[in-house]
Structure formats: C-alpha cells, structure tokens
Chain A
Amino acid sequence: MLCVVVNEGRSMVSSEALIKAHDLTKKFGNLTAVDHIDFEVYKGECVGFLGPNGAGKTTTVRMIYCFLPLTEGELSVAGMSVSKQSREIKSMVGVAPQEDNLDPDFTVIKNLLVYARYFDIPKTEAAKRAIEGLKFFQLEEKQSVLISELSTGMKRRLILARALINEPQILLLDEPTTGLDPQARHLVWDEVRALRKRGVTIILTTHYMDEAAALCDRILIMDNGKIIEQGQPAELIKKHVGEDVLEVDNDEKLMQALKTEFPDARFETFGDRIHVFTAQPHGVFERFVEKYPYRNITIRNANLEDVFLKLTGRKLRE
C-alpha cells in the first residue's frame, strides 16, 4: 500500500514521466536478470541503458514492450500497467530488437505493409507511411528486394523503419548499431537524433560509450541486474574520472614520479600502460609532460568508457 502512495506522490511531481519502474525484477529460474530496479523515463527524453553483456538491459527493454512478464515489482508505460494493458502499450511503442527478425518471405516494402497490418493501420495509410519510412532511412531503391539481399546496415535501417510504422510515442532500440560499419552507424545516429527532435521518447541499449555520449540525455549504467549509476554523460565523467586522463607506458621509475606528483590521483595498470585519473582541473598533466618528456605519453579527455570500466570493472563477462 505504501509503495502505491509513494509512487503517486512522485507522479504528481513529474507528471511527464512516461515510463515508471518500481522494484522491477525478472528471474529466469535461479538467475536474476533484473534485480529490483527503479527508474523513470520522461517524455521526449533519450535514455541509454549501458552495461556489459548479461547486465539486464535487453531484459528490461523486453519487459517495457510487454514481451516478458515481470517476476516482481511494477512497470507502467503512459500510466498503463504492462501486465494489464499490453495491447494498448504495444500499439504506442516501436521496437527495434537486437536480432534480425525481419520477414525473409517478403520484400522490403511488404515487410512494412504486413507489419502495419498487425497494428490495424488502414491499407492506404500503411502504404504512405511505408514509403515515407523507406525515404527517411534511404532504402527507397531497395523496396522490391528480398531481405536476404540486404546488407547488415540496410537490415538495421529497415528494422528501424518498421519500428516507426505505428508512429510510436516511445521507441525502444536494443543495440541499434551493433555490427555496423562507421558510415552506417553515423547514419543511424543522425536518424535517431531526427526522431528525438520530432519528440519521440527513445530508450536505447548499447555497449558503445561514444554512442551513449552522442545520443543520450541521460544514461543508466547496469551491472548484474542492478542500476549502479545514472545521470547525464558529462556529469558522470566529471564525477567519476575528472577531466583529463594521462596514459603512459608502464615503467617503475615513472610510476614513482607520478605518485609523488599526483598523490591524490587514481592509477590503473592495464597490461603495459598506466592510466592516471585525477580530480584536478585541466592542465595539470601538461606540466608533468614538460618535466618528464617520456615517449608514448598521451593526454586525452576523460570519457564515458573510463566511467564504465571504473564502475563495472575490467573482468570479461562471458
């Protein structure tokens, strides 16, 4: 009872919260894939779920589009409970899943038309939207081609076009650019940004940090089924790794020098490289480099990957 009251109090403050999860849990047998998480997604926001493989990102997304039933907790989309009004929720959500589940029995345009039928979109309207979608994703020339003849990048774009066929208010993108070359990735990014401008609320999962930094207003870092940190990308970088990172070849003497020079810094050794993180402002490393002109010294901006690795560790997950 108390939970309900708390939740309702919160919804008064942020009447725009489109997705609300409270104590959300998913277990598969003994494995707890999502472990009592709370989060909210606001209207018009682009939120990224980051995490290593097996962190629970995809499972969370699948619960949002009512594909997986919850084990415990509450999850609502536009004020509707995923376990009670799945049809209404599914009709307002667009899903671009991780795996290619385009219909290989149909051509590119027929894929969109058949999919539109599942949403009760009238024939002429479906045809109009299908053509618009193909234009938007630069697939017009491929409209009469079978799925097997498309490249990975084209398939990804077609999956995005398909996810938009019902003009969704919420778009769920599960690893939208995995396996794409840089050109195709940037094209997808541009398209995601264009959709954000149109006011579509976007949730994406990714393990590319540059993707999260480039697209997301806010990121949620997941590990072992829990949300371990959340915030704006720039904020998180500043909070966890500071502004600059010094990278240098591993060397005993140099390590001593670094430790005297930067007593408050955090040192990490990865193979034959030392990474130095400091909370001190911009410029401190430059003075050090002047003093110790070693080879292979690099000063770079701290990035989301530093945050990610700091929070989730370097151990392989699979």
Chain B
Amino acid sequence: MTESPDSQSGFRMPTLTYRVWKVWRRNFDVFMKTIHVNFLPSVLEPILYLVALGLGLGTFVASIEGFSYIQFIAPALIAIAIMYGSFFECTYSSFVRMYFQKTFDAIIATPVSVEEVIAGELVWGATRATINATIVLVVVAAFGLISSPLFPILPLLAFFGGLMFGAIGMCFTALAQNIDFFNYPSFLLITPMFLLSGTFFPLSSLPGPVQTAAVTILPLTHIANLTRGLVLGRIDTFLSLSTETTMLLSIAWISAVTTVFFILSINLMKRKLIR
C-alpha cells in the first residue's frame, strides 16, 4: 500500500514523487511551442536597460566601488530576470492554468497528486527564471561586463532564487480570488524590490532603517547581492559585515525562505484546491 497524498488534510510536509516532472514537462512543452515569442523580450529587455541606464544615465554617475555604472547594474539585471521569470510564472500563469483552464483539476484526476502539481509548477517557475537569467547573462557577457570566473554558477543560483520567488508568488495565487488581485503583490512587493534591493544604486546610500529593512525582508536584495558577487567578484557589504559573511548570510537567507515558502505554498494551494 502506498501513500495517498491528497486525502490527508492539515498542514504537512509534501510527499513528492517523480510525477512532479510530468507537470514540469507539460509546461515545458507549451513553452517550446512558443519559444520564439518567449525569447525575444528576454533578449531585448536587458539590452535596453544596459544601453539606456548603463551607457546613457551612466555617463552622469561616478564609479561605484571602482566599477562603472553599467558594470554595477548588469548583475542586478540578472537578479531582476530571476525574480520576474518565476514570480509572474507562478502568479498570473499558474492562476490562468488553475482557474480559467482547469488544467490542475484535469491532472488531479490522474495518478498525479495536488502536491505534485504545485511542486511541478514551482520547479517550472524556477526553470523559467533560469532560462531568463541565462539569456541576460549572455547579453551581459556580450557587452563585456563579466569580470569574475565564478559566473558559471549563476544558472544554479537562478534556479534556487527562482524557486524562492515562485513559491512566494504561489502563496499569492493560493490567496487570489481573481486575477486582478496580483496587482497588490506586483506594485507593493515586486516594484519596491526592483528599485530598493541594491539594484540600481548601492544599498549603503539608503538611510539606515531602509537598509536594514531591505536586508531583512526583501528577497531580491540577497539575489542581487549574490549575482553581483558572481559577475563582478565583489559585492556591496551590508550591515557592515565582511564580503564573505554577507554572501553566506544571503545564501542562508535564501535557503531558509525558499524552504518555508515551498512548503507553505503547496499547503495553501492544497487547501484551495481540495475542499
């Protein structure tokens, strides 16, 4: 006798099998069908930012910790691609699949469990983040902006960072009654993160309390911190910690938050789908 993942109610650790990959594969197949539409914006967007902000605005900005402005923002664009890639996949796109297309209901009638459906969506979100971040990485490399030999680790960071943003997004999907609900996290969480996570200027130029808040509660701060480390070899040390301590802190922060939100989002979605 095997486990019956969906019949057990209450908060619990998800029981996941290889079937997670079947859900992932479904989304991958759809992605591959429209790959040309998927690639173009991912390539164009970082080029626009690098040209407009890096080359344009950058001429008015003094060097930051020895790096030109375009060098400073390039790794942040990778971090933003990770965030956007998975957050929007696991909010708007997952909601459309769940609510309008009833794709989840169809899959749950097969041997795949609800927990595996959600885990598959999260892993797919992480994959989208990895794909998007890798495209931006290639663009950044083409601009000659990579100065650290550690850059090949970036896709791995993108995957785990993507898992984190996807899981946070999935919690909103579990709470959403309609698709307009996502305006709240988009404007109240994603936009502030886009601007305030040490992305376009060093965290240290912000007032002390805002700096502490950014490090404590904004996931993108930690992702941007690490992408900068992997692209430039140097990072903005926050809270007056050493570079190494700051990097370890970011890795620990991301691991903890990803674990918590992964388990939480699956449980919240299960509660929403199984009544």
Question: Using a CB–CB distance below 8 Å, which chain A residues touch chain B?
Answer: 28, 65-69, 82-88, 90-91, 93, 95, 97, 99-106, 110, 114-115, 117-120, 166
- One of B100-108, B125-133, B192-200 contacting the partner: B100-108
Of B24-32, B36-44, B136-144, B158-166, which stretch is located at the interface?
B24-32
Shortest beta-carbon distance from A24 to chain B in Å:
14
Q: Which residue from B7, B105, B111 sits with its C-beta under 8 Å from A118? A: B111
B30 touches A105 (CB 8 A): yes
Q: Please name all residues of chain A whose beta carbon is closer than 8 Å to the beta carbon of B272 when the two chains form the complex.
A: none
Bound complex: CA of A100 vs CA of B30, how far in Å?
19
B234 at the interface (CB under 8 A from A): no
B275 sits at the interface (CB 8 A): yes
| Contact, CB under 8 Å: B103 / A103 | yes
The distance in angstroms between the C-alpha atoms of A93 and B109, with both chains bound, is 9
Contact B7 A88 (CB under 8 A): no
A40 to B189, CA, bound (A): 53
Q: Which of B9, B30, B102 contacts A99 (CB 8 A)?
A: B102
Which of B9, B19, B25, B109 counts the most A-chain CB atoms under 10 A from its CB?
A: B109
- Select one of A68, A105, A117 contacting B274, CB under 8 A: A68
A69–B9 touching, CB < 8 Å? yes
> Do the beta carbons of A87 and B26 come within 8 Å of each other?
no
Contact of B1 among A85, A102, A118 (CB under 8 A): A85
Per CB-CB distance, the 10 closest pairs between chain A and chain B, nearest first, are A101-B102, A118-B110, A83-B7, A101-B106, A95-B109, A86-B4, A105-B30, A87-B111, A91-B111, A90-B111
A84 lies within 8 A of B275 (CB):
no
Of the candidates B102, B103, B106, the one having the most CB atoms from chain A within 10 angstroms of its own CB is B106
Instruction: Specify which chain B residues have a CB less than 8 angstroms from the CB of A88 in the assembled complex.
Output: 2
For A82, give its contact among B7, B19, B22, B26 (CB under 8 Å). B7
B9 touches A117 (CB 8 A): no
Instruction: Count how many pairs of residues, one from A and one from B, have CB atoms less than 8 Å apart in the complex.
Output: 81
Given contacts A82-B7, A84-B1, A103-B106, 19 further A-B contacts (CB under 8 A): A66-B4, A67-B109, A69-B6, A69-B7, A85-B2, A86-B6, A87-B113, A90-B109, A90-B111, A91-B110, A95-B109, A97-B109, A101-B102, A102-B106, A103-B26, A103-B103, A104-B101, A115-B110, A118-B19
- Interchain CB contact (< 8 A) of A86 among B25, B113, B275: B113
Q: Does B33 count as interface, using CB distance less than 8 angstroms? A: yes
Scan B86-111; emit 1 where CB is below 8 A from any A CB, else 0. Answer: 00000000000000011101111111
Say whether B105 contacts A117, CB under 8 Å.
Answer: no
> Which residues of chain B come closer than 8 Å to A84, judged between CB atoms?
1, 4, 7
CB contact between B110 and one of A28, A69, A100, A119 (< 8 Å): that residue: A119
Subset of 15 A-B contacts with CB under 8 Å: A28-B275, A67-B105, A85-B4, A86-B5, A86-B113, A87-B2, A90-B110, A90-B111, A101-B102, A103-B101, A118-B19, A118-B22, A118-B110, A118-B112, A166-B110
Which of A83, A91, A99, A105 is within 8 Å of B4, CB to CB?
Answer: A83
Task: Say whether B101 contacts A115, CB under 8 Å.
Answer: no
What mask results when residues 1 to 25 of chain B are scored 1 for a CB within 8 Å of chain A, else 0? 1101111010000000001001001
Q: Verify B26–A114 contact, CB threshold 8 A.
A: yes
Partner of A105, one of B1, B33, B107, B275: B33
B4 close to A87 (CB less than 8 A): yes
Q: Are B111 and A119 in contact (CB under 8 A)?
A: yes
Give A87's nearest chain B residue, CB to CB.
B111
How far apart sit A65 and B106, CA to CA, in the bound complex (Å)? 12
State whether A67 touches B108 (Cβ < 8 A): yes
Point out the residues of chain A lying under 8 angstroms from B106, CB to CB. Answer: 97, 101-103, 115
